Structure 1
Amino acid sequence: MYVRTSSRRNKSGQVVRYLQLAHNEWDAKAGVSRTKVLHSFGREDEIDRAAVERLVAALTRLLDPARAAALTGPAELTFTEARPLGGTHVLDGLWHRLGLDQVMRRQLAGRRLDPRVERVLFALVANRALDASSKLAAADWITRDVHIEGLDAIDEQACYRAMDWLLQIEPALAKEAYFQVTDLLNLEVDLLFFDTTSTYFETEEADEPVPRDAHGERLPEGTDPELAVKEAGFRTFGKSKDSRDDLPQVVVGMAVTRDGIPVRVWSWPGNTTDTNLIRQVKDDLREWSLSRIVWVADRGFTSAANRRALMQAGGGYIIGEKLRSGSPEVKQALSRPGRYATVRDNLQVKEVNIDSDDRFVICFNPEQALRDAAIRERMVTQLEEAIAGTDKLKATERAHLAGQLSTKPGLKRYLRTTPGGLLRIDKKKIATEANLDGKYLLRSSDPKLSAEDIALGYKSLLEVERGWRDMKQILDLRPVYHRREDRIRAHVLLCWLALLLIRVAENATGQTWNRLRAELQRLQAATFTGHAGTYRQTTEPTKPQRDILTALDIPAPKKVIELTATL
């Protein structure tokens, strides 16, 4: 099919050209090709060009948009760039599926803010999950390095404005997101796991102390000083879980379901005590009107004050007890006879009755017992080598060596000094430690849970520990590129939302986020530019990519995601 041109001379002698849409047909009888006119456009100088454009537009709608753009352009298209698309497409699909966009838009109603704030916050969350960076670098990443639906470009200030707004709506956002997520995913929330970590800052100076309430929140200026419970900077010195007591830090807490879904995070000044943490967490979640909740916490929350706080409002707890605390309850529990019952995952449990209102369950893992024994044997061998021949040393030299060994907890545990100042292996301590191999002790206030549920519930606390590991290694909770308290809190919230999305993806696919991210980022958006315009087209999804999309119930991205005609 082609445009046929014919010419003829009119009475004035002027040559006039006529345009026709024609194609050639083969005449089998005559054995020749004959021209058939399909449509006459009329004189070339009087042609209705608007009508031709409408005809071309109607015909191109029958074609693939990318092919149409290529065919209508007077010159070939030029490939200009390719950006990863798969990761943001999946995260955006989960973002919408969990209703986080709707929650934010409801909170946005009536506020004088850029309507793109929800998109900016999603982009910052996606940045943490896919290529964690500072907010300045994140703005450049969003603008130049990735395709995000509904957001072409932003600047650093737009990121900060969105973070400030996120902090304002956090209580309502966390509550609505919790119920949306638990209802949609049909999560079991009878057990909530809670743990804390700390994250330090590469600065030697702590923040100036300011008045704070019982929850560690900064009191507004002009507040009666008597209302302040304490004065503390947000970035301040405390007991570091990263072994960096020399640097100021903040404390971060997280509540997680038994499925590993993080439902809320908190952040406090770096010297906040466990008791204050527990009280705020209980107070905040009491407003959610949850049904019966049993809190699962590690051995750092075993104090009587923390247990009382967890019992408030009808709650219960499962807490790990420190076997080496020397408390009367621990001694009674370990001395009680009884047989272990094997439950699952190579785990054996035994409930013991002692003089206490709480229940105590001893857990034993034979494989862990073998590992503990092997580690102790190496420690004892190393200690024997260190003190060999020390009887011949002067008393001051032996004391100096003992001081050096005291800085190594693993060796110090098995070292004994005789009344005469001689260094010996503490065989009694070895026997005591051998009795603890592979064991841990749990304390629970819940009268209805079985010993197996108590043991497996505590074992699931590993989900929180995995969350901290992913927060620090994948989402880059640290380093924090912010100085202001509100921006640090907002940064923690972005990490929480990113962890929420990737944990949902992992649970649905059975794959780690590192593997999912690597595969999804191979799905690209390619941009082509020509005289007719610009279009952006996705690469064809591979089978692994299609399997991920199917498992997450997310449709594949459109083949052509952007088409702009040059006017």
Structure 2
Amino acid sequence: MQVIYNFGRDDASNRQALIRLAASVVKILEPAQLLDVAADGLEFVDSRPFGAVWVLDALWRQLELDGTFRRMRRDGALDPEAERVLFALVASRALAGWADPPTEVARWVTEDVFVDGLPATTEDACQKVTEWLCEVSGRLQEEVFHRVADRLDLKADLLFFESAHGGPQPGLGLDGDPPCSGPEDSPSLAPPSGCHEAHQTVIGLAVARTGIPLRVWRWPGCTDDAAMIRQAKEDMKGWTLSRVIRTADRGCPIAADRHPPRTDDDHHYIVGAKLRSGSAVADAALSRQGRYHHVAANLRVKEVHIAADERFVICCDARTAQRDAEVRTRLVEELSALIDDTDRLSLAERTDLHMEISANPRMRRYLRLTPGRLLRIDVKAVKAEENLDGKYLVRTTDLELPAEEVALGYMGLLECERGWRDLLAGLRRLQSRGEPGECGHLLLTWLSLLLVRIAESRTGLPWSALRREFDRIKLGTFAACAGVLRQRTEITEEQYELLAALGLAPPPRIVQISPPDG
């Protein structure tokens, strides 16, 4: 017998010397040989996005929604894993981005992501949970409202906003104005003639002051305003509802002085007004002198007095101002490239080009036609636009609400509205296919938006940025003769900071260890 290396007695062994020896031995091994020796045949078999799903699940559990739904499930005939299926349905709306039918959700859970406690699901299980949501809609929303309001110490305001199914979606265009520019192509708040539920829908939200949705309603587009208010108040009797405010963005006709909303002593409205409309109200508001007051890190407000029965607040958002400046710079550069060297063109050619540019509503505001029919950049228009960067004009009939809360209420509407755009597209697809389930789709998207808005309000970042960063945390699956191991990738310093802002501990490094099948 020949001794290659004497390790010595166990109680007298030098651990550091053994480590040095192991490091010397592995230098002569090939990578495949080293893996076999170290892991006894460990094989890397799968990798999936993990971080974003885990964050949503952690917020779900932090709000104790898992326990809430398990208690409610006992009254029905659902499987024990129904709560996990419900979470998967909610998470798919925040991560997959479509009005996902049960078949797509089942495939997404089984093949694309890792949902803790739900290795796989079926189309039938997803369909049953969606139908169950519709059956318990009222009780479910009350349970969630009290759970979330108590956990986060929130007070609810009631904000209503409308969105048309057939017309353009509400919200801001790239240049700071809504995409619609006239009454013929903007969603109407007044009941149009021949209106039908399939063509227009009114979405009502009970939201906290930070824009977190706590309850949702859906009405046909022709529903009377007073009827919506009465139903909402009746549904929320005994809830901590602080006030009722009808809210609409700048793309709605009431914001353009065409259809003033009805108001009484019981509820008021907050609406946005177009600063670029050239109206007397907008010009008067911009001409008033005054000092801006900081409301949040990026938001300043200034109240101006124009009318006795209505208040006007100018909001200035630093992030939106930067975006407006970048968009304007790009548009002016593109316009300059189009009209460069056009002086040598014939009058007919310049006229055709002028008509083509005028068809673009974003570019035409920066184009000037000289008396000699030459095309030039309108420097005065560019300067005027610079003064409007990041600014919103908000008007309200509430004479007691602080200007800061008027601004935050309107900004909360924009944040919620941004989240509902996918919902509206999903409802249109459901209607076009003639499928049932609009109620379940509405509730699932509301729950998804609830988690997303909590994440956004705690971190100050949009969900798209959070999802992109957290999806960099992958989950690797390794198989060996001893079983299956699932391990996440290393967490970066930025990801640690985001998790801390969310009040969440990092996910465990080893997520799951399971014995081999059979």
TM-score strictly above 0.5: yes
What's the counterpart of residue 183 of structure 1?
A: 150
Instruction: Select which of 240, 259, 281 maps to 1:329.
Output: 281
**Cα gap change, 1:506 to 1:321, in 2 (>3 Å):** closer
Which residue type is aligned with residue 484 of structure 1? G
Which residue type is aligned with residue 313 of structure 2? V
Q: Deviation per CA, 1:89-126: give whole Å up to 9, x if none.
A: 54334323323334434544443444543332222223
**Cα gap change, 1:257 to 1:307, in 2 (>3 Å):** farther
Shift of residue 188, structure 1, vs aligned partner: 4.9
Matched, 1:497 2:455: no
Which residue type is aligned with residue 437 of structure 1? L
Query: Contact 1:91–1:501 at 8 Å: present in 2 too?
Result: yes
Between the aligned partners of 2:329 and 2:226, the Cα distance in structure 1 is: 37
What's the counterpart of residue 178 of structure 2?
A: none
User: Superposed, which structure 2 residues align to 1:219-234 within 5 Å?
Assistant: 232=196, 234=198
Instruction: Select which of 130, 139, 158 maps to 2:125.
Output: 158
What's the counterpart of residue 486 of structure 1?
A: 436
Shift of residue 449, structure 1, vs aligned partner: 3.2
What's the counterpart of residue 167 of structure 1?
A: 134
What's the counterpart of residue 270 of structure 2?
A: 318
Instruction: Select which of 250, 262, 280 maps to 2:213.
Output: 262
Between the aligned partners of 1:230 and 1:479, the Cα distance in structure 2 is: 19
Which residue type is aligned with residue 513 of structure 1? L
Identity %: 35
Secondary structure of the corresponding residue to residue 243 of structure 2: coil
Between the aligned partners of 1:529 and 1:278, the Cα distance in structure 2 is: 68
What's the counterpart of residue 360 of structure 2?
A: 408
Between the aligned partners of 2:356 and 2:270, the Cα distance in structure 1 is: 38
Instruction: Select which of 279, 282, 292 maps to 1:341.
Output: 292
Instruction: Select which of 231, 243, 249 maps to 1:292.
Output: 243
Query: Contact 1:360–1:441 at 8 Å: present in 2 too?
Result: yes
Shift of residue 362, structure 1, vs aligned partner: 3.1
Between the aligned partners of 1:536 and 1:510, the Cα distance in structure 2 is: 38
User: Superposed, which structure 2 residues align to 1:361-376 within 5 Å?
Assistant: 361-363=313-315
Matched, 1:521 2:474: yes
What's the counterpart of residue 225 of structure 1?
A: none
**Cα gap change, 1:387 to 1:79, in 2 (>3 Å):** closer
User: Superposed, which structure 2 residues align to 1:66-77 within 5 Å?
Assistant: none
Query: Contact 1:477–1:495 at 8 Å: present in 2 too?
Result: no
Between the aligned partners of 1:90 and 1:195, the Cα distance in structure 2 is: 31
**Cα gap change, 1:380 to 1:191, in 2 (>3 Å):** farther
Between the aligned partners of 1:294 and 1:256, the Cα distance in structure 2 is: 11
Shift of residue 453, structure 1, vs aligned partner: 4.0
Which residue type is aligned with residue 179 of structure 1? H
TM-score by length of 1: 0.58
Between the aligned partners of 1:460 and 1:77, the Cα distance in structure 2 is: 54
Structure having the larger proportion of residues in strand? 1
What's the counterpart of residue 551 of structure 1?
A: 503
What's the counterpart of residue 447 of structure 1?
A: 399
Secondary structure of the corresponding residue to residue 69 of structure 2: helix
Secondary structure of the corresponding residue to residue 299 of structure 1: coil
Matched, 1:120 2:68: no
CA-based RMSD of the aligned residues comes to 5.3
Secondary structure of the corresponding residue to residue 539 of structure 1: strand
Between the aligned partners of 2:317 and 2:60, the Cα distance in structure 1 is: 40
What's the counterpart of residue 487 of structure 2?
A: 539
Q: Deviation per CA, 1:321-345: give whole Å up to 9, x if none.
A: 123445443444345x423334365
Shift of residue 181, structure 1, vs aligned partner: 1.2
Query: Contact 1:191–1:258 at 8 Å: present in 2 too?
Result: no
Between the aligned partners of 1:230 and 1:168, the Cα distance in structure 2 is: 31
Between the aligned partners of 1:493 and 1:401, the Cα distance in structure 2 is: 50
Secondary structure of the corresponding residue to residue 300 of structure 1: coil
Between the aligned partners of 1:89 and 1:200, the Cα distance in structure 2 is: 37
Which residue type is aligned with residue 329 of structure 1? V
Which residue type is aligned with residue 281 of structure 2? E
Instruction: Select which of 56, 63, 69 maps to 1:98.
Output: 63
Query: Contact 1:189–1:257 at 8 Å: present in 2 too?
Result: yes
TM-score by length of 2: 0.63
Between the aligned partners of 2:488 and 2:387, the Cα distance in structure 1 is: 57
Which residue type is aligned with residue 183 of structure 1? D
Q: Deviation per CA, 1:250-290: give whole Å up to 9, x if none.
A: 88776654434333455677xx47x8689647743662241
Between the aligned partners of 1:87 and 1:384, the Cα distance in structure 2 is: 47
Query: Contact 2:474–2:488 at 8 Å: present in 1 too?
Result: no
**Cα gap change, 1:144 to 1:380, in 2 (>3 Å):** closer
Greater Cα radius of gyration, structure 1 or 2: 1
Between the aligned partners of 2:386 and 2:457, the Cα distance in structure 1 is: 38
**Cα gap change, 1:282 to 1:376, in 2 (>3 Å):** farther
Query: Contact 1:197–1:468 at 8 Å: present in 2 too?
Result: no
Query: Contact 1:302–1:319 at 8 Å: present in 2 too?
Result: no
What's the counterpart of residue 388 of structure 2?
A: 437
Q: Which consecutive residues of structure 2, in runs of 5 or more, have no partner in the other structure?
A: 1-8, 10-39, 169-188
Which residue type is aligned with residue 440 of structure 2? A
Shift of residue 351, structure 1, vs aligned partner: 2.6
Shift of residue 542, structure 1, vs aligned partner: 4.7
**Cα gap change, 1:538 to 1:421, in 2 (>3 Å):** closer
Which residue type is aligned with residue 125 of structure 1? V
Query: Contact 2:284–2:306 at 8 Å: present in 1 too?
Result: yes
Shift of residue 291, structure 1, vs aligned partner: 1.7
Between the aligned partners of 2:414 and 2:384, the Cα distance in structure 1 is: 24
